[in-house]
Each structure stands twice: as C-alpha cells, then as structure tokens.
Chain A
C-alpha cells in the first residue's frame, strides 16, 4: 500500500568489521519523514546518529535494509546517481564545519554549485545572496581561519542551502559552538525549516532538539529507543 512519506528507512543496518569483531553501528532502524519535517536525532557518542545521517545523505551504503526517497531505494542508485542526489537534493552541515581552508567564504559557498549544473555567473550571484542573507556580506573574502566558529558554521549552512536542497542534514551543527552561537544557528535552522526545508539534525542536546524539532528520536547502540516507531 502506498504511503505519503517522502523519505523513510526500513530495518536499516550498518555493520563494520574491526579485525575479528563486528561493530553494529546501526541495527534495524525504521524512520519516516514527510516534506517539511524537522527531525531531531539524539543520543550519546557511538549511538549511530552520524551513521544514520550518512546513510540517509547517500554518503554511505547500508549493510542491509533500505533508505527510500520518494519510493526509490538509494541502494539501487549508481555511485553517479548518488552523487547527483547529494548535489541536487541534499545539503549537509558538519560539527567541524568542513570548510575548505584555502578558499574564501564566497568560494566555499560557490563550491556547492559546481556539481548541480549552475552557470559560473549564477553561482556567484547565488552565493553572494545567501551569504548576505545569513549576515556574512562583510566576511565574503575571508578565509575560514579568519572567521569565528559561529561565522564558519553560518558559511557552512550557506554552502548547504545555496543550491536550494530538499533536505538538510545537520550533524551536530552546534557541537563546537558557544551558547550564543548555538542559539543563533539553531534559530537559523528553525527559520529554514519554517521556509519549507526538511531538516534532519543530529545532536547531543535533547532539550534543544525538543524545542525546535517536530519529532525527536533517541538512539542507543545503533537502535532507536524512543520515538520514530511506525505503527
């Protein structure tokens, strides 16, 4: 029977082999997302939050189970199709920002548009617009090392949203920020979500997740232990 979930995971497993041991990073996770959802994933370190996010973002492939997007399994996509999926539909932000250190803020944002067929001129215009929108107009030529943590994360968010993705994956986006910047970034994500962007945010901070996310799942040793169950 067809359902109206935009993205879902079915019995998703990701096991790693470490020598003779098998590590169950993710062990049978079922999640469902509708367009415009804001899903918070909380859990301790090693609970499988980032692994789940990488699988949903098409950066990793599951040991078993599926990630479905609009009814199509990501595991059936070729490496090239997965790259297109990441280039067109997905924005990702990381705890450590992952900006390219020798690029300016503007170049970092522009880089996201290299892979979705945007013309050179449009690339610059779009990047400028997003940076201005996020209050970084006077920081465009600065390199990451010359920016504060909060500014770097805002550049990373600009890079993630510049291509107008359908879903934003945020992997502990405030993990390296002070309280003030944490608040700013979280509010920014909430605003983006209010604008219609689907967001999946991984965080340690249950309180923050509960405040901003529409739904929250808690993970423990690769399993969802609270929320997210399908009836």
Chain B
C-alpha cells in the first residue's frame, strides 16, 4: 500500500466520522494554538531585544573598564589613559576606541538655562550606530568644529517639542571652575591674616615636648586644609563656549553606555573636559585619582578615564577581542556576550512556556488515543477484510498512524493559524496599553518560521506517538476472529 493510498484511505475514514474527527482535531488545534501564542510572545521579546541591540550596534560594541571598581585607575596601576586607548585601538578587530569623557556644564539656549552634562566625542564615534540615529539635523563635521549635538531629553528639559526648530540655533555652555591656584591663594591669604596670631599662640617652650608638637601640627594642618578647600571651591572662574546645534540624537535606552545630553566634538571640548573642578566636591577626588588636579586647561597628558568604548569589527569573534583586552589588565564588557546570556535566559523562558503548551497537547493526545481505539473497535471487521486481501501488520499499523498523523497535521496547521490570531490580538491590546501609558510601542509577539516548523512538527509527532498504541493494537487484530463477526 503506497503512502498516497494510506493518506487517501485515512482521509476517507476521518471524513466519515466528521463530528468525532472535528472534536479530536479541536483538541490538537487548541493545544497548538496555546503553544504557538505563548512561544510567539517569547520569540517576539527576543526579536525585539535583538533588534534594539542591532539598531544600536551593541553587538559590535565593547566597554572597557579599569579592573578596580568605580575607579579610573586599577588597583594594580593599569590606568585607562591615552596610551591605553591607543593600544586598545590597535587590537585586531577593534575599529575605534574612545573614552567616556564627560563634564558638568550650565547650558543656555535662548531664555532657558539648565544644568546638564556634556560629553566629548571624536567624529569616528559619531559615525558608529550608537550615535548615528538622529531625530533631526546632521552629526558634527569635525573634531574641532564649534558644533554640538543634543539629545531628546535635553529638548524635553528646555521645553522644546519640535526638534527641527532647534537645528542651527546657538547653545552657550559654561563651566565654573575651581583651580589649584585659588586654593593655595586662600592658604596664603590665611597665613597673611592669621600668621601673627599663630606665632603668638605657639608655646615655644613646649615645642620640646613631642605631644605638644604633634597636637600643634595636627591643628595647623587641619586649618591649612580647610583654607585650601575653601579657596578651591569658592573662588571659581567661568569658562564658556558658544556652539551651533547641528543634530538631535534619538533617545535610546543604552544600559551601560552613557550618552549625555550635550555632545561636543572632542577637541572643542578639551578646554572643558580637562580643566579644574566645576564645584562638585566628588570631582575633586576624581581629579586627584585621575591625575588631572594639577592639569592645565587643554592638557590631556596623564588623564585617566573611567571607561572606554570599543567599536568592533563584526567579523572578529568578540571573545577573542575580550581576551586581548583582559590580557592588557582591563575589564571588558561585551554586549554580544550579554545577548548570549539573554538568549540563554529566553531559552529557559521559552521552555517554560512550551511546557504549558505541551501539557495541553498531552491532553489532546489522549483524545487521539481514545478516538483511534474507538475506531479500531468499530472497524475490526474492516481490518480483518484488509488482512484477508493481503494487508500485512505494517499496512494496518501505518493506516492508523497516518490517520492520527492527519489529525495532528490538520490540528497543527489550524492551531498555528489560531495561535497567530491570538498573538495578533494580544499584541494589539499590548500596544494599546503602551500607547495609553505613553510608552514607546514595541512588537512583543513574533511568529518566526522556526516556530511554525516546530509547532507543525510537534503537532504531528505527538499525534503519531499517540496513535502508536492503537495502531499496534490494530496491527495485531486476528483476521479470523475479526471476520467471524458478531
């Protein structure tokens, strides 16, 4: 008996028992629909994240940090300085290496003045996917141009909704800085004003006693430090620059990658980013750590950075680059590696969802077993006739297996369609709520070809497995007994 004959005979038998076939197929259909709609949620989320990573070029982005946490200099002294960046940029597979170089400024646009953070970026970085998605305008044209790019969040802060209207406008960024000179100036001023009092206060006779000497030194050192800090933080100068807004960056959630609200060409930003302290005491300690405390404006030597971003060649495996970076004594964070981890998580998530669908399918398969066993009882004489005509055990077995397979196939195809409809409906509801909540809409459901194939295969395989016992039972029907009839 050919496979075509088996299918034709099976279809004929199933069509004869329309209601029973419909009910059995419905069981498979519902199970597969549940399976598909649930997994399409997992697949949709995965596709969404993958798309986000791809759009931002994160698969080709690696972050490099010093080994010690929250510090730009590693415990073992490996600093992310300019020479380190130079070495990183020469690694095979690294297209570009640039530091995170940010500074606090006061930004004035028209009548609005706000505090913001600015970031210095080389033009090479601006061309990477991370920064190339513009809402309006164009990226700046060179490292020394007097241009700036803003983010959507900056516009929101100054109450601008039309991003196009801001292109070509000027922005004045300014920074109040404290210098080391002003600190020492205060110390000298203090000495000048209080020097005589201090000399009078000293008990020269007691200087021979170590305890007195130590107390005096502690007290005066404390006083000098206070005067220094006072001078350092209060006698601030202002530096400023007027830049032309050339582009508005789309606001994306970047996770580890920091994008500040004002982007300034690297060389234009030098006088801000390498100059003194803006008044935030924590910057004092950062400057001390990074070696910029005594730096002159524009002086980049000896500067250390908290992190460096690498733009990678997609043809080179990220693992290889990560190993090279770590061999330099730095920590590396690869987004591609993170995505692999996320993908693993999604596999577990998908498996959990698939289990729910499979439980439903197991129940449906019991329906198939029941239908097929009933069918054998009703068609016992027919089986006997077929055997008397020359059917062997395998012919009968395949006949029943094909019948259960046909039930599975029809159920799977219809189930995939129903699952797709359910996922479309759920997606519609989700998007409606996202819009209502003011969130950016995202497609959270997907029906990729692999899911269709898996659902089809599972539907058929589970149905055929469910048909195994009845088919074997049918194959072993004794023809003499079957033909003897009632």
Interface residues of A (CB under 8 A from B): 54, 57, 59-60, 79-80, 83-84, 86-88, 90, 92, 94, 96, 98-100, 102, 111-112, 114-116, 120, 159
Q: B390 to chain A: which residues have CB within 8 Å?
A: 83-84, 86-88, 90, 112, 114-116
Q: How large is the interface on B (under 10, 10 to 19, 20 to 34, 35 or more residues)?
A: 20 to 34
Contact B392–A159 (Cβ < 8 Å): no
Q: B386 to chain A: which residues have CB within 8 Å?
A: 111, 114-115
User: Knowing that A54-B480, A94-B483, A98-B388 are A-B contacts, what are 4 other residue pairs whose CB atoms are under 8 Å apart, sorted by A's residue number?
Assistant: A80-B394, A98-B385, A112-B390, A114-B5
Q: CA–CA, A112 to B389, complex, Å?
A: 5
Secondary structure of the B side of the interface?
Answer: helix
Encode contact with A along B373-394: 1 for CB under 8 Å, 0 otherwise.
0000000011011111111111
Q: CA–CA, A120 to B4, complex, Å?
A: 10
Q: CA–CA, A179 to B390, complex, Å?
A: 32
A111-B483 contact given A98-B381, A102-B16, CB 8 Å threshold: no
Contact A83–B391 (Cβ < 8 Å): yes
Chain A CB within 10 Å, residue with most, of B386, B388, B479: B388
Is B143's beta carbon under 8 Å from chain A? Answer: no
A115-B391 contact given A59-B480, A98-B381, A98-B483, CB 8 Å threshold: yes
A96-B485 contact given A59-B480, A115-B1, CB 8 Å threshold: yes
Closest to A99 in B: B385
Interface residues of B (CB under 8 A from A): 1-2, 4-5, 12, 16, 381-382, 384-395, 479-480, 483, 485
| Cβ contact of B387, chosen from A86, A94, A100, A159, cutoff 8 A | A86
Closest to B9 in A: A114
Q: B388 to chain A: which residues have CB within 8 Å?
A: 57, 59, 86, 92, 98
Q: List 21 A-B contacts (CB under 8 A).
A: A57-B388, A80-B392, A84-B392, A86-B387, A86-B390, A87-B391, A88-B390, A92-B388, A92-B389, A98-B381, A100-B385, A102-B12, A102-B16, A111-B386, A112-B389, A114-B389, A114-B391, A115-B391, A115-B392, A120-B4, A120-B5
Q: A60 to chain B: which residues have CB within 8 Å?
A: 480
Q: CA–CA, A120 to B480, complex, Å?
A: 29
Chain A CB within 10 Å, residue with most, of B4, B12, B382: B382
Closest to A57 in B: B388
Closest 4 CB pairs of A and B: A87-B390, A115-B390, A83-B392, A86-B390
| Cβ contact of B392, chosen from A79, A96, A100, A111, cutoff 8 A | A79
Q: CA–CA, A80 to B387, complex, Å?
A: 11
A98-B5 contact given A54-B480, A112-B389, A115-B395, CB 8 Å threshold: no
Q: CA–CA, A172 to B176, complex, Å?
A: 117
Contact B485–A86 (Cβ < 8 Å): no
